[in-house]
Structure 1
Amino acid sequence: MKSFDAVGRELDRRAHTYANDVDQSGRHIGYRCRAEDERPVPLEKAVERRMGELKTKRKVRENQVRAMGFIVSSNDALDEKSAREFLDRSINWFGARYGYENLLAAQIHLDEGTPHAHIWIAPVIHDRETGFDRLCAKELFAPDKRRKNAEGKWEVTAQGTMSRLQEDFWEQVAKPYGYERPMRHELRARGYRSLDAYKVQVGTTRALKSEIETLEGERDKAKHGVITAKRELDGLEQLRVCLLYTSDAADECPCVDLGGRRIIKK
């Protein structure tokens, strides 16, 4: 709870540190997340209000996660009008997915290098059968489950809700604006930053493997040629030695005479 005040001040530009760091033309848009609000409610107050509304079986612990923050960044290829439209859709998508009552704060920042939106969600699930609410950030935003296989490599055994969130967001919101499909965790862990980069790397690797196989084939062929040439050279050397024999030593020569030519006996 103590951190929300500082985060909220940064979010809606109340922090004095932005006096020299950010363009002060007021090009940031705060959302009224509820119709009854006359103006955007600061994050810390919105969190306190939402926690006070919850009907839980147990008291909310001090160390429980009360809010999850997301940043949606605009595609650099979009002009400001399209970027604003995309960010508007993003905020509404989060509200519809997790409940507008759980949309704590939303701000669009156009006063930095890349337009982006800050979206804060209360990780609350309402149980209709019991009528109780519960905070469940680990459930709503769980990572993929992974384990090492027999080869000692990590593999995904179950897709988490965070991966599904990214997939759904891309399909329903970001795809029409030219965004790439989100990458799986195991690819990001290997240093890839985009799906295109991964495809290029895979294509390059396959091309290199093919080239290596071709070169290895040429190497083996060259080795065979060297062996054959050496055998021929040894035969010629033997023939040269035989030609040095005198006529009286012809019987000892390991060659036969065919019309004045010496042929090595097999």
Structure 2
Amino acid sequence: MSDRTGAGVIVLAATPIGDVEDASARLVRLLGEADLIAAEDTRRLRALASRLGVQVSARVLSYHEHNEQARADAVLQVAADGGTVLVVTDAGMPAVSDPGFRLVRAAAEAGVRVTAAPGPSAALTALALSGLPSDRFCFEGFLPRKPGERDRMLAELAEERRTMIFFESPHRIAAALAAMAAAFGADRDAAVCRELTKTYEEIRRGPLAELVDWAAGQVRGELSIVVAGADPAPPQVEDLVAEVLRRTAEGQRLKEATAQVSVRAGVSRRELYEAALRAR
């Protein structure tokens, strides 16, 4: 199915994060058919096209975080005139910790159609390989460069229940893991995913303390960190007294209400009973 529908379109296309064979057939077609290619790095874009055996005939425009706002109008104009604009970043999905977000907002405001050619994602690949719960997760991207800002961000995430995904650079990985161990606890489970889908792919899993020791050596390559969410805080006896008293007000005997609530909450029946007596 063609991406041309009479009106123009902007296509956010995922590119391989390592193995070039992960490029979709749709990406290959779009590289050859697009009227304009907005690329985070034009040299990498041409290198990718060459590896895929694609002859790029479109105009290629440098489009990165430093000029995204300034060049949005030029990109929108091509689509508004009926053309197909392909937006690609160095690796993975545009707008996910990469340029693209501002363009999508501008296109929506201008009434220009935006779609996606989905594909590789370092964040989701790392999550899948981490061995950590994936039913609920959040993506936090790169940590702040300044230690104070980084530590404040991690402190805010200390009670996050969802699995967390981060990106990090090789020269900051040791400090980042040490800061996570301090904020989340040295025994919090995590995984560091290095060089995903590439020849020297490596997945390190274990408590943060072990990963801190591992990162003390020289670490190279593209890195993703996946950290388990916080365990739910155990309920306090005092917080359960109101439920026990509500049950007794509805006619249940105090001992029976205490027994049922203590079993459900996993607290001491005796302590809960005594606290309910004091509250009465």
Question: TM-score normalised to the size of structure 2?
Answer: 0.21
Say which one has the larger Rg.
Answer: 1
Question: TM-score normalised to the size of structure 1?
Answer: 0.22
Q: Which has the higher contact order (CA 8 A, sep 6+)?
A: 2
